Structure 1
Amino acid sequence: MGAERRGARGWAVDAALFAFGVFSWLYLSGDRMRLGLPSPPWLFELDQLAGIAALGLLWLRRRWPTQAAVVAVVLSTFSETTAFPLVVLLFGVVVRRPLRTAAWVFGGAVAAAAVYAVLRPAEMGVLGSLVFAVVLYGGVAGWGMFTRYRRALRARAAEQERDERERARARAREELARELHDLLGHRLSLLSLHAGAMEYRADLSPQELAGAAGVVREQSHLAMRDLREVIAVLRAPIGELPQPSMADLRALVEEARPGSRIAFAQTAEGEAPERSGRTAYRIVQEALTNARRHAEGAAVAVTVSGGPGEGLEVEVVSGPGRDGGPGSGHGLIGLEERTALAGGRLEYGPAEDGGWRVRAWLPWTA
C-alpha cells in the first residue's frame, strides 16, 4: 500500500486527533506534577519533549505509518505522554501496512511497555503493566483489523460495481452494433434491388428510372450515416440504439395502458429528427417498463414537448406504488449512453411524492 492522500475529511480527522492528543499531553503532564515528579527530575522534562515529538508524528501517520509508529514505540520506553499518539499510530500500521509488519510493530510496543515498567515502576508492577499493555494494544489491533477488512470489502464491492457497469456497457454496445448491422444490411439490400432494376430493366420510363435513382441516392446517404454510427459504436462505450421513431410514441403508450394509469401529452412541433425521435421512444419505453416493474399500479405521466430551435424534451414521472424489487440499473445506464450518443443529456432520480422522474433533453438536429 502506498502513501494515503489526505483529503478534506482526512485533514479534519487528523486535526481532531491532534487536538485530543494535545489535551492528553496536558492532562498527563498535570497529573504527573500533582502526583509527584519521577526520579531523576530531568526525566519529566524529557517525557514532555517526547510527548510533543509524538504529537508531531500524528501528522506523518498517513505518509510514513510504520516509521512514525516505530519512533513512537522507542519514545514510549520512558515517556508516558506518548500513550495516545502511540495508540493512534499502531492503529494506522494495522490498517495500512501488511499484517507481518503490524505484528512486528505490535511486538515492539509490548517490549517497550516492559522496558517502561522497569524504568518507571507503577502500582501494577511489571507483570500488571505488561498485561495492561497487551490488552490495550490487542484491542487497538482488533479494531484496526476490523477497519482494514471493512475497507477491503468496500473496495471490492466498488470494483465489482465498476466491472458490472463496464459489462453492461459492453452488452449494450454489442447490441447496438447488431442493430446497426441489420439496419445497414437492409439499406444495402434496397440499394442492390433498385440498382439491379436500373441495370437489367431497359424498358423503364424516364420517370421510373429517376425514381429508382432517387431511392438509390437516399439509401446510399442513409447507409453512410449508419456506417458512421457503427464505427462510433466500435470506438466509444455507447449504449444501444432504438429502432422506432417518435411517431410511434402514442402507440407505445396505448400498448402499455391496459392495467396502468398513463397520461400522455405530446406538444412537440412537427416530427423530430430520426435519431432524437428514436432515442425519445426508447427513453419512454424504458421508463414505462421501470414503472410497471418497480411501481406497479402507480399513475404515470408522459410529456413530450419542444420544437426546432429549442430541442426535444421528454419527461416521464411515475408516482409511488408497490415496489417490484430492486433493479440492476443497466436500463438507466443504457439510457445515459444512448442519450449521450444522440447529443443530449439525461437526468433521473426520486420525485417529490416518492415516485420516480426521468427527464431528457435531445437536440432538434438530424
Structure 2
Amino acid sequence: MALTGTDCGVGAAVPRPPRLAVLGSTIAIGLLVGTVLWSMVVSGPVPHLRLDVLAAVLACALVPVAMTWPVAGGLALAALAAVSPVATPAATFAAINAARQRRFPVAVAVALAGVAGHAVQGRLRPFAGLSYGWWLLLMAAAYAALLGWGTWARARQALVISLRERAHRAEAEQGRRVAEARIAERTRIAQEMHDVLAHRLSLLAVYAGALEYRPDSSPQRLAEAAGVIRGGVHQALEELREVVTVLRREEPGPDPDSPPGPELRDVPRLVSEAREAGLTVSFEDGTDGGIEEAAVAPVTGRTAYRVVQEALTNARKHAAGQPVRVRLSGAPGGTLAVDVRNPLSYELPELPGAGVGLVGLTERLSLAGGRLDHAVDAAGEFHLRAELPWRT
C-alpha cells in the first residue's frame, strides 16, 4: 500500500504493513520465542511447561494481530507476558511496533501495559538471581528504550516520506516551469513572426499596388518593382522558415546557426526600405555619437528596431501617403528614446491587420525594462514614443 503524507505524519496512523513484512516478523519472533522456551527446558525442570508451550503458540499467533492492530495486539501480548516468560519477545516487539504505527500517547499506553504485564510475571515467576525491584526497573528501562526507538523510527519514516513528496512536488514544479518557459518562448516567436512578416508583407503590398495602378510604367521600372517583390517574397519565406524551424525544435532557445537579429545600427536600412516602398520618412539620429558606433545591449537595440518597424508598418496600413518622422535620442547610461510621428489618415486602411501590433510592442518594451506611449496630439498627429534603458 502506498504511503502518503496524511497517513504517515507524526500524528497520524500508518497504513497496514505488507504481508511479506508480517510473515517475516512472525517468523523472527517465533524463532526468539522458541529460543526462550528451549533455554527454559534445557536449564532444568519447567513446572508449567504446558502453559509455556501454549503461551508460545499464542504469542506467535498474536504477532500478525499486533502488526495489523497494534493496540489490541499489544495489550493481548502484555497480558500473555504476565503468565509466561516465553511471551516476552512478542510483547516487547508489540511495544516498539505500536510506537512506530500509532501516536505517542497510544504507544505509551501499550508500553505501560507491557511493563505491568512483566511486573505481574516477576511476582508469579521471579527471575533467579535478580530482585523484584531490579527486575521491574530493568523492564521499565527496556520498554522506555523500545518506545523511544519506535518513536524515532516513526519520525524518520515520516521525514523520508515528506522529503520524497517534496522531491516529487519540486519535479512537478520544474516540469511546469519548463512548460511555461516553452509557451513563453513560442509566444515570443509568434510576436517576432508578426513583427517581421507584417513589415515585409506590407512592403510587398505597396509594390504590388504600384504595379496595379501604374501599368503604363516603363519596362525598366516594372522590372525593378518585380525584382523588389521577388526579393521581398524570398526574404519573407526565409524568415518564415527560420521561425518555423525554431517552433519545431523541442527545446526552444537560441540557434547558433541562425543569423543574428536586427540591431540598432540597422534602423537606417529599415528607413531606406520604407522610402523605397514609397513612404515619405524623415530620420533623425540624435543619439550620443550616432547609432552606427553606439554600444548598446542586443536586447535594447533589437527592441528599438522593432519599435521603428512596427511604427512604419502601421503608418503604411493606417496613414498611407502621410509623411512619417522618426527620431532616436539618448546616451549610454541613460535612456534610449524612439519617437515616431505621422499625421492621421481618415480613410479606411487598405491593408488588413490583426490589431494587436501595439499590444505586442507594449509587452516587448515591458520585458526589456522600458515603456511605450501612443496617443493623438492636439495637432492631429499620431505620436508613438518608446523609452528603453540604455544598457551596454
| Offset, 1:67 | 2.6
SS of residue in 1 equivalent to 2:254:
coil
Q: Which residue of 1 aligns with 2:44?
A: 35
Contact map agreement 2:92 2:114 (CA 8 A) in 1 = no
Q: Which residue of 2 aligns with 1:182?
A: 188
Deviation digits for residues 169-220 of structure 1, max 9, x if unmatched?
Answer: 3433333333222222111112211232233332364454455456656766
CA distance in 2, matches of 1:174, 1:194: 30
Letter in 2 for 1:243: P
Letter in 1 for 2:255: P
Deviation digits for residues 112-160 of structure 1, max 9, x if unmatched?
Answer: 1222223333343543332121011112112212222222332233233
Contact map agreement 1:25 1:81 (CA 8 A) in 2 = yes
Correspondent of 1:242 among 232, 253, 268: 253
Matches within 5 A, 1:72-87: 72-87=77-92
Q: Which residue of 1 aligns with 2:30?
A: 22
Deviation digits for residues 332-354 of structure 1, max 9, x if unmatched?
Answer: xxxxxxxxxxxxxxxxxxxxxxx
TM-score (norm 2): 0.50
CA distance in 1, matches of 2:255, 2:210: 37
Contact map agreement 2:118 2:136 (CA 8 A) in 1 = yes
Q: Which has the larger radius of gyration?
A: 2
Distance 1:7 1:165, change over 3 A: farther
Matches within 5 A, 1:152-231: 152-201=158-207, 202-203=209-210, 205-206=225-226, 208-209=228-229, 212-213=232-233
Letter in 2 for 1:6: P
Correspondent of 1:71 among 59, 76, 90: 76
Are 1:6 and 2:14 an aligned pair?
A: no
Give the unaligned 5+ runs of structure 1: 230-238, 249-366
Correspondent of 2:109 among 72, 92, 104: 104
Distance 1:216 1:246, change over 3 A: closer
Matches within 5 A, 1:320-339: none
Letter in 1 for 2:203: A
SS of residue in 2 equivalent to 1:50:
helix
Q: Which residue of 1 aligns with 2:135?
A: 129
CA distance in 2, matches of 1:5, 1:200: 78
CA distance in 1, matches of 2:185, 2:132: 79
Distance 1:160 1:126, change over 3 A: same
Are 1:143 and 2:149 an aligned pair?
A: yes
Letter in 2 for 1:57: L
| Offset, 1:99 | 0.6
CA distance in 2, matches of 1:179, 1:59: 58
| Offset, 1:244 | 1.2
Letter in 1 for 2:78: V
| Count, aligned residues | 231
CA distance in 2, matches of 1:106, 1:52: 22
SS of residue in 2 equivalent to 1:111:
helix
Matches within 5 A, 1:213-362: 213=233, 241-245=252-256
Distance 1:243 1:105, change over 3 A: same
| Offset, 1:84 | 1.0
SS of residue in 2 equivalent to 1:82:
helix
Q: Which residue of 2 aligns with 1:95?
A: 100
Of 144-153 and 80-89, the range deviating more from structure 2:
144-153
SS of residue in 2 equivalent to 1:81:
helix
Q: Which residue of 2 aligns with 1:116?
A: 121
Q: Which residue of 2 aligns with 1:266?
A: none
Distance 1:240 1:163, change over 3 A: farther
CA distance in 1, matches of 2:258, 2:245: 21
Distance 1:136 1:51, change over 3 A: same
| Offset, 1:57 | 2.9
Distance 1:218 1:68, change over 3 A: farther
CA distance in 1, matches of 2:80, 2:65: 16
Contact map agreement 1:3 1:64 (CA 8 A) in 2 = no
Contact map agreement 2:242 2:258 (CA 8 A) in 1 = no
